[in-house]
Amino acid sequence: MKNVKVIVWGMGAMGSGMAKMLMKKKGVDVVGAIDIGAKVGKPIFEILGEEYPENENIKIGTVEEVIQEKAADVVLLCTDSFTAKAFDKIKLIVENKMNVITSAEEMAFPQAQNPELAKKIDDLARANGVSVLGTGINPGLIMDVLVLVMTGACEDINHITSRRVNSLSPFGKAVMEEQGIGISVEEFEQGKADGTLAGHVGFAESVGMISAALGVELDEVTQSMDPIITDEDRVAPYGEAKAGSVAGVSMKASGIKDGKELIEMDHPQQIEPEQVGVNTGDYVIIDGNPMVNMVNSPEIEGGVGTIAMCVNMIPQTINARPGLVTMIDLPIPHAILGDFRDQIQEEAKIVK
Amino acid sequence: MKNVKVIVWGMGAMGSGMAKMLMKKKGVDVVGAIDIGAKVGKPIFEILGEEYPENENIKIGTVEEVIQEKAADVVLLCTDSFTAKAFDKIKLIVENKMNVITSAEEMAFPQAQNPELAKKIDDLARANGVSVLGTGINPGLIMDVLVLVMTGACEDINHITSRRVNSLSPFGKAVMEEQGIGISVEEFEQGKADGTLAGHVGFAESVGMISAALGVELDEVTQSMDPIITDEDRVAPYGEAKAGSVAGVSMKASGIKDGKELIEMDHPQQIEPEQVGVNTGDYVIIDGNPMVNMVNSPEIEGGVGTIAMCVNMIPQTINARPGLVTMIDLPIPHAILGDFRDQIQEEAKIVK
């Protein structure tokens, strides 16, 4: 078998992280990379800032140059958060008969917010004999797959709490702006009202995955977003919040079944949480038979986690039946320390 | 679709627990139960001690009475720990064209200790168009699947520690005897030498699953078993250990790659651990990028966990391709609160 061929679409933090990770792995090659603007035409090592003797120094190309029929086994699409924005790109990749893995948060379970687009993607993927997966650290692992895996040990469940308390300090300027770090409470409320502050994208998808897997139809899912107002000045590498301003966003969601909360999602994100005595961590708390009381502390860092999840799911996506697939349809995620080709099944959709 | 039909083979603690759990679930029926000796011919509710209006009060039968061609969609086999002992029963079920889920620990990854029998089971299952899965809480979830799921967020890994610190106090007399509770250190060493003390069965399988999924061929796997000697008297419901005697078994294993330990397994089991300041829990500690530092405390109780895992994996096993399958081949485990039939795929191997 030839090496698994991968195209990376979007050379921001996520895409270039995936390209770097792939270059350290065996049996897999980055055969193309796509970006826009000044990056087009530049050698990939100029963008990644590193090289490996066995890796070809390909050039960053345009969509038209790189997305060709069967040019790769899989395209890692890291350009969007929302299904509607990613749809045309996914369509183009699929029609060129390549599998897709995307970090777009809504694509982790597009059935939740875009059932019609999900159906279209499923139809397109089936017609072209390829698979489309959305994954990442969250949604994709911490607040859905990990929760579900622990329910596997349960006979019955009364209530689930999924909590991710994380630090925004490692993130760059873009995330600081998206999350409203340092703005006033009035600006926060304005941004929330006019939709310019999205906060975490993924609750609908995580709750959707959990309820679909459990086989429960929820009555309703409510969601809230509130500012985390700091009472002391906080300074992170790429953002700061003066006392009285916004140091982060607290998001909660609640999945109701038969008038009672079945699923509670709790996701406060802020800069410098340790400064105010907040310990970060990922929690799965299940009131059921048996009880589950799990914490991973500190939390799994979102950037590297998303990069790893997208790369590590390459074999499962290539091996999958054609169509739109989700993390609840595929074999368990895991790291790959050996050769990627050993993880591909004989009958899989590999470019021959 | 008709209800999913299940036969339970072995009405001990595990099998009768699974039968009880199934009777509370929707879209699935226990259609047969097998045991030996005095239980044969008795109504199942006499053994289970409970009933539900919609459940038929079937009688416990013999193998010959119950194992008939396509009598059920799946047989839950809960009679053995070892592949060699379970083999003839699995063969009989598979030749009667029914899927198998077994709690036999070695069957979680029979490739590890019985590669020839694993090949035979795979051939038989393929020839008969059914699937065979071994699962449970450990092996099956805590010291393998959960570890692997967390590695999904990792770019690279230097070292993995999987630790399960559990209490034997909830278990019955059989486990007390198997684990040597209350015997002298000399008796322990004698039992270890002559093979009458097995300790935990599953390290070879868990390490095998982890290394297979990561794509690593280990140089060697070493394993040790030592007595946990108590320095104060301990009393559990079904066993006791005087000061100076054996209160439990400490098992360790080490998977070596390129002369360095890659996988460390640590599994001390004892009665009344809290009495001597030992907190129980399930730990996944990964030295990698990123780091993982996870604990579930107290530990998931082994009995209910194994019961739930075997029942909850019924849809994944019915939906699987024919052959021997393991937890690393199938979609993620999860609880089922809804109708079992909703989890079965149209094209699955369901008895029509």
Please name the residues in contact with B65: beta carbons below 8 A apart, sequence gap of 6 or more: none
Q: Which CATH class is domain A4-136+304-343?
A: alpha beta
pLDDT exceeds cutoff 90 at A252: yes
Of A149, A300, A311, the CB nearest to B332: A149
Nearest to A107 by CA among A130, A129, A128, A136: A136
Confidence of residue A334 (pLDDT cuts 50, 70, 90): very high
Best of B138, B150, B217 to disrupt the A interface (most A CBs within 10 Å) is B150
Q: Please tell me which residue, A318 or A347, carries the higher pLDDT value.
A: A318
pLDDT digits (tens, 9 = 90+) for A153-177: 999 999 999 999 999 998 878 889 8
Angle between helices B13-23 and B302-312 (to 10 degrees): 50
Q: Quick check: B334 and A152 CB within 8 A?
A: yes
The reply to whether B149 touches chain A by the CB within 8 Å rule is yes
Give the pLDDT of residue A352: 66
ipTM for this prediction: 0.96
Q: Quick check: A149 and B151 CB within 8 A?
A: no
Nearest to A271 by CA among A240, A244, A229: A240
Q: Quick check: A215 and B336 CB within 8 A?
A: yes
Query: Which residues in A106-119 are b (16+ Cβ under 10 Å) and which e?
Result: bbbbbbbbbeebbe
Chain A residue numbers with beta carbons less than 8 Å from the beta carbon of B215 are 336-340, 342-343
Give yes or no for a contact between A200 and A249, defined as CB atoms under 8 angstroms apart: yes
Distance (Å, whole) CA A318 – CA A315: 5
Give the pLDDT of residue A309: 98
Give yes or no for a contact between B198 and B191, defined as CB atoms under 8 angstroms apart: no
Q: Quick check: A216 and B152 CB within 8 A?
A: no
pLDDT digits (tens, 9 = 90+) for A4-15: 999 999 999 999
Strand-pair partners of A295: A283, B295
Chain A residue numbers with beta carbons less than 8 Å from the beta carbon of B21 are 155
The reply to whether B293 touches chain A by the CB within 8 Å rule is yes
The reply to whether A266 touches chain B by the CB within 8 Å rule is no
Of A137, A152, A332, the CB nearest to B328: A332
> What H or E segment, with its residue span, contains residue B44?
helix B44-48
Please name the residues in contact with A107: beta carbons below 8 A apart, sequence gap of 6 or more: A83, A86, A90, A132, A133, A134
Domain residue ranges in chain A: 4-136+304-343, 145-299
Sheet of strand A260-270: strand arrangement = A220-229, A246-257, A260-270, A156-167, A281-289, A292-296, B292-296, B281-289, B156-167, B260-270, B246-257, B220-229
Of B216, B282, B333, the CB nearest to A152: B333
Best of B155, B159, B319 to disrupt the A interface (most A CBs within 10 Å) is B155
Distance (Å, whole) CA A15 – CA A18: 5
Q: Quick check: A338 and B151 CB within 8 A?
A: no
Shortest CA gap B208–chain A (Å): 14
Shortest CA gap B348–chain A (Å): 14
Going residue by residue through chain B (352 aa), what tens digit of pLDDT does each one get?
Answer: 899 999 999 999 999 999 999 999 999 999 999 999 999 999 999 999 888 888 889 999 999 999 999 999 999 999 999 999 999 999 999 999 999 999 999 999 999 999 999 999 999 999 999 999 999 999 999 999 999 999 999 999 999 999 999 999 988 787 898 899 999 999 999 999 998 898 889 999 999 999 999 999 999 999 999 999 999 999 999 899 999 999 999 999 999 999 999 999 999 999 999 999 999 999 999 999 999 999 999 999 999 999 999 999 999 999 999 999 999 999 999 999 999 999 999 888 888 6
Which amino acid does the sequence have at B341? R
Chain A residue numbers with beta carbons less than 8 Å from the beta carbon of B167 are none
Q: Which DSSP letter does residue B246 get? A: E
Give the pLDDT of residue B145: 98
Please name the residues in contact with B306: beta carbons below 8 A apart, sequence gap of 6 or more: B14, B103, B136, B137, B140
The reply to whether B151 touches chain A by the CB within 8 Å rule is yes
Q: Quick check: B213 and A151 CB within 8 A?
A: no
Of A24, A309, A338, the CB nearest to B152: A309
* Closest-approach residue (CA) in chain A for B138: A153
Q: Quick check: A298 and B293 CB within 8 A?
A: yes
Beta strand A292-296 with A281-289 is antiparallel
Give the pLDDT of residue A177: 87
The reply to whether A127 touches chain B by the CB within 8 Å rule is no
Give yes or no for a contact between B10 and B37, defined as CB atoms under 8 angstroms apart: no
The reply to whether A21 touches chain B by the CB within 8 Å rule is yes
Give the pLDDT of residue A351: 81
Give yes or no for a contact between A41 and A59, defined as CB atoms under 8 angstroms apart: yes
Chain B residue numbers with beta carbons less than 8 Å from the beta carbon of A213 are 332, 334
Q: What is the mean pLDDT of residues A299-325?
A: 96
Beta strand B239-241 with B234-236 is antiparallel
Which amino acid does the sequence have at A304? V
The three-class DSSP label of residue B217 is: coil
Distance (Å, whole) CA B117 – CA A102: 40
Strand ranges (E), B113-238: 131-134, 156-167, 220-229, 234-236
Q: Among 3.10.450, 3.40.190, 3.30.360, 3.30.40, what is the CATH number of A145-299?
A: 3.30.360
* Closest-approach residue (CA) in chain A for B321: A321
Confidence of residue A350 (pLDDT cuts 50, 70, 90): confident
The reply to whether B304 touches chain A by the CB within 8 Å rule is yes
Confidence of residue A19 (pLDDT cuts 50, 70, 90): very high
Of A24, A149, A156, the CB nearest to B149: A149
* Closest-approach residue (CA) in chain B for A257: B337
